[in-house]
Structure 1
Amino acid sequence: MSAQSMNPAAPGPGARLRRAGARTAALLGAFAAAATLLLGTSVAAHADGDADRKQKVAAEDAETQAALVADEDHRLNQVRAFTSVAPLQSTKWTVPYRLDTDNGYTLVLTERSNAYTIADLLKLAPQTFLRRKDGSYLLTENIYLNVGAKLKLSNPGGLTLRMASNRTGFVSIVSFGGELALQGTAQAPLTITSWDPQANKADTDVRDGRAYVRTIGGQFEMTHAKLSDLGFWSGRTGGLSLTGTDRPNTGSLEDAGQVHGKSARDRARDQGDAQDEGSSSGDVTAMPSGELTTPDARFSTGGLSYVSGSITHSTITGNAFGIFISSATGIEISDTTVEDSLEDGVVLHRFVSSSLVQRTVAKDNGGDGFILSRATQQVRISGSTAQGNGGNGYTLSGKPLADGPSASGQAVDSYGSNSVANSVAKDNGRYGVEVLGGFDVGVQNNRIEGGDMGIVARLEADKVSITGNRLTGQHRQGISVRDGVSDATVTGNIIDGPETGVYVRDSAAEIRGNTVQDATSHGVSLVGGVDGTTVSFNVIGGVGPSALDAGRSHGAADIKENQTFAWYDTSSFWVRVKHYASPMTLLWVGILLLILFSAAMGRRRRRGHGRVGGIVHPYSDKAPLPAPPPDEIEVAGRRKVPVMSE
């Protein structure tokens, strides 16, 4: 965007400015009808404000937005290159000055002992920083704080700052190594929003870019402020961003037509005009006019720079990313609400350490409520609420930046020492809390309501402590520990109403002293390799196939002293047989049946042998055969005497 296009009266040197103003006026007239038509179409397509904020990004719109981000990176690099070397060549560049780059005017605030204020901006930019009849201020020019510069935006009676943003372009406030303070009071808060001057309303369409606020290194402070409808596409242009080392990885888009209010033809003509006036320095023109030396690349201001600061008692609504922070230390966010963001709410992206987020609410954001991404460590979230977000309530990632040699040479170490405690996750679209890798992660004393799962730890996380949480109303699993987690502790949790209370798969965990009630499938389920897992002293109640499901696991799991008297087993007879029919059980049952069968066969054979008084003679089968009867004669009339044959 050309910031001057937002105000045809932007200052400049003589004829060149008049030509730029005429071009801008023509552009404004040409785009007025199109902007009105676009707004009307947008309202019809998105009946309510929330749907409009969370509009989907089409492929062609994504390409345009990515090109705009690259364009912003290019502009900031131009400004930074000039500001790094100009003060070495002339003392006139040690006071505030203006640059005209490819993408518009940028007011550069230079270092001084006192902070710049609203009164200073009215003097330094009387045509691009305007006080309106309603008491608000309209900014139509980019502002850049150089290293050491200080800008304090505040007003005793309250301040409303509107940053120009529409189809013709947008403006930004960027601090590079300076100090930016946005200060309101509880009675009179500071308000900053994007603003479409033609439509006289906030800019909710991100497809053509949108105004944003960014701090690169240095310090940032915001208190009692209300920010709304800022930012687009990337984290660094997401609305409110605090970033350290600036390493843009996007390129410029050549001959892409009008970008930031200037077409390729306009840029070529401007360069020709600047050369005619003798004020050209590459693609950057500085005013007041005069011959400038090409900046020396040796004075580029790369290197490491970390940002620090605080955000308190503020509300951020409708940004692309609510708050985006990277390469920062000592950040504190407290008593703040981040809502209705197009993407994620509070994002601590890379290399954020020793920071605290407390009493902060992230709700109704398109992505996750809170994200601690890879390379973030020693960050504590406490007393906060994540509600109604499209993704997770809280995401804590400690995965390494690389898993082997890489072009960027990133370390392969994991990150950790992050925690979420005494907080609430309610009715989020995916999980309440998700832990992705890392070590020494704490999820303690939280209340998790609704969602597909309550607390999920996975991807080889190590030493994860899940203790003292209350989980209710999850669809599938209350607590899930899976995919290579080691040394997890799941103790003292109360889990109410999921399909499965605690689920462990291919991991090692201590499941002790938990209460599972009203589960509908399993109380505790072990699947896959669970060596080193202990399930003990849990109280399990519910209705389903089994209270303790270990039939699908292998390994030396220790299951003992669990109370399952409140569990009603609904499995069928054959399911129960299958449940108890382990290989060892089947072996012993087979041996017992063989013994019984042998005994029965032996008893049957003995029935055919003689018995005396029910007792079988021990040698009955060994008795000799009886002799044939001899012939007999009668002697003395009655007695029979055997007659021996000769």
Structure 2
Amino acid sequence: MSGSRRRKSRTSLVVLVLCLVAGGTWTYLSYTDRPAPPPGVNQVSQADAQQQSTLVDQEDLRIMQTRATLSSALARGGPAAAQARVPHISSSANGRTLVLPQRREPYRIADLERLGQEQFQKQSDDSYVLGINLFLGPGAKLVLQNATGPLVIRMRSEPGAFVSIVGFGASIRINGSAQNPVRITSWDAQARTADTKVSDGRAYLRAVGGELKMSHALVEHLGFWSGPTGGVALTGSDRPTRTAEPVAPAEQASAASDRQRMLLPNGLLVPSRGGDDEIEITDGTGARKVAYRLPEANLVTGVITDTRITGNAYGIFITASDETRIANVSVTGSLVHGVLLHRFARNASVENTTVTGSRGDGFVLSRGTQNVTITGSRAERNTGNGFTISGLPLARGPSASGESLRSFGGSSLISSTARDNGRYGVEIQGGVKPVVQTTEVVGGEMGIVVSKDATDVQISGNRLRGQRSQGIALRDGVLSARVSGNIVRDTQTAIYLRDSKATISANTVQSASLHAVSVLGAADGTAITGNTLGGAGRSALDTARAKGKLALAQNNTAGWQNTAGFWTMVKRIAKPMNLIWFGVILLIVIAALRALRGDGPRVGRRFVSPYEKQMVLEERPAWVLRTAGSETPARRS
């Protein structure tokens, strides 16, 4: 290979390497722009997980068997019903249970002493040790309070055995006072302390339907594995729990209900046709129609106030509820999440509640929740997010249970605080009309993050500082968001928008170190107006990577210092296509320089004709060039 060809090959190789390096750098920047995955929480070994899961299944089976036995006895009537209507002990393969059926008066501490006998006795320190499961049937009432002094109930929870208090369609009331709170804790009699090991199960408190009201209580080290067995749980169902009942013709016109499905005597759950509260079906011969009233769903409700909860698996777990209220509650050291409102929790309020040191998130509003308001609350030093609000639909497409594809929404976070949480301060995933307003977010990887097609989001009047990456981030299909009146400081990028549409107005940015506002990807229709942008970084308004029409107006960037140096400028222009064109131009320049240097056809600095040194053609004899036509007539003859 000639020297000229080697030099051309070497130049092409350099250009190719530059392009690959540029492409790799671009890919890396795009990847690091994505949020970190959620941290693992409550990680356990496979053996412990299997054991706890099995215990949850056994608990569900025990509760269903106890309820079924009670309902069957009451339905049969006679001696069986008479026996079922009085407190009794039910035994099964999954443990012994003290069953408290409905009666006129509520059950109190004195009743538990009498009925539980050695399984509920007062100790020398005036505390009580509960050594048997309690089950309250539909309509039963349990009141735990002590007017003469503090009430302490230690629930047996030791290797191989634990107890629970479960109300099914019942009323559980725990009434303490500021001077005499009610303390409920797990208890390992062998260790003489609360049970802090969850792998073998742990005592818990649960209301299934009905209500749970708790005031001035101390709850410590309850629950394991699942939400219903997580510690303090309010669980219901959005579906009826009893069969439909025949409706007299005179009652059909006035019957009312708010449900749309009903359970027929054959066990089928079908939509209503005859109205909001009834359905008409034909009998076996098709001769007549029968109307059935739709029973109410077994939703739970409750109020928890002035209570301190420590070391539960889930601090408070609520699902399928209506109008629950949590106020003036402190939740500390939960093994999973602090306060979790799960599917079909609606119209709930959380006020002046603090969650600290959970291994998961502080507050969680999961898919299926709607119209939940959190005000004046605080999430601090939790491993995951401070607040998580999800309005995602229960299904994205066809599902075995036929879940709705609609999004949920209407939830809001107002005048609250998220401080020094491991992941984000506030995360909103999907949903319609979520609101984060007048809330303070300190620290964390990011401050307020909105994603997954959330619509009509309002983020206003918040104060954010000290985030490691971004203050307010909207990404992945957010639509019609309004980000206004927020103050963001001491972070890299104050407001970040990616593949989303928003109106960003009247915000104040202080001490940003990368960008004040950064817009990437599809952002057609986004407006950035009237913001005051201060800091020192690459740019105040980073919109070069945005696609679509943006409206930029009246943004004050006088307080921004552009610190983009030489290498920053290089990175801005070092795009793959730019480098390819640069390489092409470089090859042309190199070729020209080689010509000037003497590698081409030149003499000194004077360009000459490329044919100048070619030899002149040799002259041939004249006779050789003669043609046949030039011969004389004599010779031709």
TM-score, with normalisation over the residues of structure 1? 0.72
Change (3 A) 1:554 1:297: closer
The 1:75–1:581 alpha-carbon spacing in structure 2 relative to 1, beyond 3 Å, is: closer
Q: Which residue of 2 aligns with 1:338?
A: 331
The one of 106, 109, 114 aligned to 2:97: 106
User: Which position in structure 1 is the counterpart of 2:539?
Assistant: 546
Q: List structure 1 runs of 4+ shifted beyond 6 angstroms.
A: 296-300, 577-582
Question: In the alignment, is the contact (CA less than 8 A) between 2:457 and 2:482 conserved in 1?
Answer: yes
Kept after mapping to 2: 8 A contact 1:362/1:387: yes
Counterpart contact for 2:454–2:478, Cα < 8 Å: yes
Counterpart Cα distance in 2 of 1:93 and 1:102: 20
Cα distance in structure 1, aligned partners of 2:357 and 2:570: 48
| CA positional deviation for 1:581 | 12
What is aligned with 1:482? Answer: 475
CA positional deviation for 1:170: 0.2
Match of 2:509 in 1: 516
Deviation by residue 1:587-606 (Cα, 9 ceiling, x = unmatched): xxxxxxxxxxxxxxxxxxxx
Q: Is it true that 1:466 corresponds to 2:459 in the alignment?
A: yes
Is 1:84–1:299's contact at 8 Å kept on the other side of the alignment? no
For 1:81, which of 68, 76, 79 is the aligned residue? Answer: 68
What amino acid is aligned across from residue 45 of structure 2 in structure 1?
A: A
1:199-255 alpha-carbon deviations (Å, 9 max, x no partner)? 1110000000000000000011000000000000000000000000299xxxxxxxx
What is the CA distance between 1:565 and its match in structure 2? 1.1
- State the secondary structure of the residue aligned to 2:337: coil
Matching residue of 1:169: 161
Match of 2:433 in 1: 440
CA distance in 2: counterparts of 1:306 and 1:547, whole angstroms:
51
Deviation at 1:80, TM superposition (A): 1.2
Count of aligned pairs between the two proteins: 481
Per-residue Cα deviation, 1:278-324 (whole angstroms, up to 9, x for no partner)? xxxxxxxxxxxxxxxxxx99899x98310001000000000000000
Q: Which residue of 1 is the match for residue 314 of structure 2? A: 321
1:167-206 superposed matches below 5 A: 167-206=159-198
- 1:219 matched residue in structure 2: 211
Please say if residues 418 and 425 of structure 2, whose CA atoms lie closer than 8 Å, have aligned partners that are also in contact. yes
1:154 to 1:580, Cα distance in 2 relative to 1, 3 A = same
What is the deviation of 1:104? 1.2
User: 2:366 and 2:524 mapped to 1: Cα distance?
Assistant: 30
Specify every segment of 5 or more residues in structure 1 that has no aligned partner in the other structure, as ranges. 1-53, 248-295, 583-646
- Name the CA distance, whole Å, in 2 between partners of 1:511 and 1:298: 54
Q: Which letter maps to 1:195?
A: W
Partner Cα separation in structure 2 for residue 420 and residue 427 of structure 1:
18
Residues 359-417 of structure 1 deviation map (CA, whole Å, 9 limit, x = unaligned): 00011111000000001000000000000001000000000000111001110000000
Corresponding residue number in structure 1 for 2:282: none
Match of 1:400 among 368, 375, 393: 393
**Secondary structure of 1:125's match?**
helix
- Alignment check: 8 A CA contact 2:238 2:299 kept: no
Q: How does 1:242-391 map to 2 (within 5 A)?
A: 242-245=234-237, 304-391=297-384
Q: Contact (CA 8 Å) 1:245, 1:303: kept in 2 or not? A: no
Give the SS at the match of 2:74. helix
Q: Is the contact between residue 85 and residue 299 of structure 1 (CA under 8 Å) also seen in structure 2?
A: no
Show CA shifts across 1:169-198 (max 9, x none). Answer: 100000000000011100010000000111
C-alpha distance in 2 between matches for 1:506 and 1:56: 34
Tell me if structure 2 keeps the 8 A contact 1:236–1:324.
yes
Secondary structure in structure 2 of the residue aligned to 1:120:
helix
Please tell me whether the aligned partners of residues 81 and 299 of structure 1 are also in contact (alpha carbons under 8 angstroms).
no
| C-alpha separation in 2, matches of 1:138 and 1:577 | 72
- Asked if structure 1 preserves the Cα contact closer than 8 Å seen for 2:238 and 2:344, the reply is no
Task: Report the Cα distance in structure 2 between the residues aligned to 1:548 and 1:73, rounded to whole angstroms.
Answer: 57
CA offsets 1:516-544 (integer angstroms, 9 cap, x no match): 01001000000000001011111111111
Residue number in structure 1 paired with 2:578: none
| TM, length-normalised to structure 2 | 0.73
- Do structure 1's residue 68 and structure 2's residue 55 form an aligned pair? yes
Amino acid across the alignment from 1:150: K
Look at both structures and tell me which one has the larger radius of gyration over its CA atoms: 1
5+ long unaligned stretches in structure 2: 1-40, 240-264, 270-294, 576-637
Q: 1:523 to 1:139 in 2, by over 3 A?
A: same
The answer to whether structure 1 residue 140 and structure 2 residue 131 are counterparts is yes
Q: Tell me, in whole angstroms, the C-alpha distance in 2 between the residues paired with 1:554 and 1:341.
A: 44
Distance 1:78 1:129, change over 3 A: same
Q: Which residue of 2 aligns with 1:94?
A: 85
Residues 105-141 of structure 1: per-residue CA shift (max 9 Å, x gap):
1011011111100001111111211110100000000
Q: Which amino acid aligns with 1:535?
A: I
Counterpart secondary structure, 2:372: strand
Q: What code does the residue aligned with 1:149 have?
A: A
Is the CA contact (8 Å cut-off) linking 1:399 and 1:414 kept in structure 2? yes
| 2:331 counterpart letter in structure 1 | V
Show the counterpart of 2:45.
58
SS of the residue aligned with 1:335?
Answer: strand
Instruction: Tell me: CA distance 1:146–1:395, structure 2 relative to 1, closer, same or farther (3 Å).
Output: same
Aligned residue identity for 1:207: S
Verify: 1:419 aligned to 2:412, yes or no. Answer: yes
Which residue of the other structure, out of 520, 524, 536, is the alignment partner of 1:527? Answer: 520
- TM superposition shift of 1:577: 8.6
- Distance in 1 of aligned mates of 2:567 and 2:106: 80
- Secondary structure at 1:91 match in 2: helix
Identity rate of aligned residues, in percent?
48
C-alpha distance after superposition, 1:337-380 (max 9, x if no partner): 01100000000001011110000001111100000000100000
Contact 2:203 2:222 in 1 (8 A): yes
Aligned-partner Cα distance in 2 for 1:456–1:213: 34
CA spacing shift, 1:537–1:298, aligned 2, 3 Å: closer
Indicate the larger mover: 205-214 or 555-564. 555-564
**Aligned equivalent of 2:230, options 231, 238, 245:** 238
> Within the alignment, does 1:499 sit opposite 2:492 as a pair?
yes
Contact 1:143 1:173 (8 Å CA) reproduced = yes
Superposition map of 1:602-621 within 5 A: none
2:196 is paired with a residue of what secondary structure?
coil
Contact kept? 1:374, 1:401, Cα under 8 Å: yes
Structure 1 distance, partners of 2:574, 2:136, is 74
- Is residue 459–residue 485 contact of structure 1 (8 Å, CA) maintained in 2? yes
Q: CA deviation at 1:560?
A: 1.4
Q: Give the corresponding residue for 2:421.
A: 428
Whether the aligned pair in 2 keeps the contact of 1:479 and 1:503 (CA below 8 Å) is yes
Report if aligned partners of 1:315, 1:338 keep a CA contact under 8 Å in 2. yes
Q: Which residue of 1 aligns with 2:140?
A: 149
Q: Secondary structure at the match of 2:72?
A: helix
SS at match of 1:182: strand
Could you tell me how far 1:572 is from its partner in structure 2? Answer: 2.8
Alpha-carbon deviation of 1:576? 5.1
* Residues 1:125 and 2:116 aligned together: yes
2 CA distance for matches of 1:304 and 1:553? 49
RMSD: 2.2
Q: In structure 2, the residue corresponding to 1:162 is in which secondary structure?
A: strand
